[in-house]
């Protein structure tokens, strides 16, 4: 074989060897990347599985916080709210509960409306925490309750939220006539993500159950018992013409829960008779409320 042929053969052999090496490198890189991708996918799947499990466990430990509200009594316009940590079984304590009054701030849409700062300064809710009482902040917006154990009860004191300067007291009371009390509660425990809760409940109100008896001479006697969780101020009976109804018994300026009003006497004659009796009173926030009772034929 000539020297030229030997050089060509050597050059061709080197080229084949180079291609073989490159192919081996490409194959190695491919399988390495594939193995790396598989490992990454497995790790991501494991993380997702672990997160699902953590989220499931976190959800099972969501605090069960019950809320009860009632009027403070003794003619006060304040409301007591009792919170209790009732479970679940795996949650023995919370390090802290941050409780905020939740309101519904209106949108500022017209020129001349209050500024954003003025709107934010208002507590757009029927009640606020009594500022400075039992750890509440000075605005009455929030309170921190520390170290709450399962079965513990914590009592908050609320008062009617003040009307902003550009709304009259009557308009403000009417605005929140049927607005429920809303509490945003953030529960925290070391090692766990926070649990955000929302508790909503009606304002404490008087509710009346009528009791009717009949006396001789066509006289009906109506007495109403307060079955609600707040007192009624200044209850007054009127008939369907708006006239006051005759009453008997000691007048009560405040009718507390489980107490009864005076007895209303309705006289029926052959010439005609009253079909309806209305009981009106004022609630804790100064709003007039009433109920109508239809008398039997």
pLDDT tens for the chain, 297 residues: list them. 555 455 555 555 555 565 566 666 666 666 667 767 766 666 666 676 666 677 787 888 899 999 999 998 777 899 999 999 998 998 899 999 999 999 877 665 455 678 888 888 899 999 999 999 889 999 999 999 999 999 999 999 999 999 998 889 889 988 888 899 999 999 999 989 999 999 999 999 999 999 999 887 778 899 999 999 999 999 999 987 888 888 888 888 899 999 999 998 887 654 456 788 999 999 988 889 999 998 887
Domain boundaries, the chain: 1-60, 65-201, 208-294
CA distance 80 to 71: 6
Q: Which CATH class is domain 208-294?
A: mainly beta
Any idea which fold 65-201 has?
A: Immunoglobulin-like (2.60.40)
pLDDT for 271 equals 46
């Amino acid at each position: 074989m000539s020297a030229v042929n030997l050089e060509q053969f050597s050059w061709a052999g080197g080229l084949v060897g180079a291609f073989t090496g490159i192919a081996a490198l490409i194959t190695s890189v491919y399988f390495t990347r594939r193995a790396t991708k598989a490992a990454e996918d497995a790790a991501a799947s494991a993380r997702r599985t672990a997160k699902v499990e953590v989220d499931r466990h976190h959800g099972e430990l969501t605090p069960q916080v019950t809320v009860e509200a009632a009027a403070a009594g003794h003619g006060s316009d304040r409301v007591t709210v009792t919170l209790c940590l009732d479970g679940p079984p795996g949650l023995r304590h919370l390090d802290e509960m941050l409780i905020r009054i939740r309101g519904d701030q209106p949108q500022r849409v017209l020129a001349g409306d209050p500024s954003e700062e003025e709107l934010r300064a208002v507590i757009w809710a029927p009640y606020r925490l009594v500022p400075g009482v039992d750890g509440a902040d000075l605005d009455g917006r929030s309170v921190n309750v520390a170290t709450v154990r399962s079965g513990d009860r914590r009592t908050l004191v609320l008062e009617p939220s003040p009307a902003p300067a550009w709304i009259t007291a009557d308009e403000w009371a009417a605005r929140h006539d049927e607005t429920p009390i809303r509490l945003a509660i953030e529960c925290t425990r070391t090692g766990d993500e926070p649990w955000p809760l929302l508790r909503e409940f009606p304002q404490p109100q008087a509710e009346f159950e009528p009791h009717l008896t009949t006396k001789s001479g066509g006289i009906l006697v109506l007495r109403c018992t307060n079955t609600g969780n707040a007192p009624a101020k200044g209850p007054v009976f009127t008939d369907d013409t708006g006239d006051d109804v005759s009453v008997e018994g000691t007048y009560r300026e405040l009718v507390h829960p489980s107490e009864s009003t005076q007895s209303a006497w309705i006289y029926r004659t052959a010439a005609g008779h009253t079909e309806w009796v209305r009981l009106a009173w004022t609630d804790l926030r100064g709003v007039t409320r009433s109920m109508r009772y239809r008398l039997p034929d």
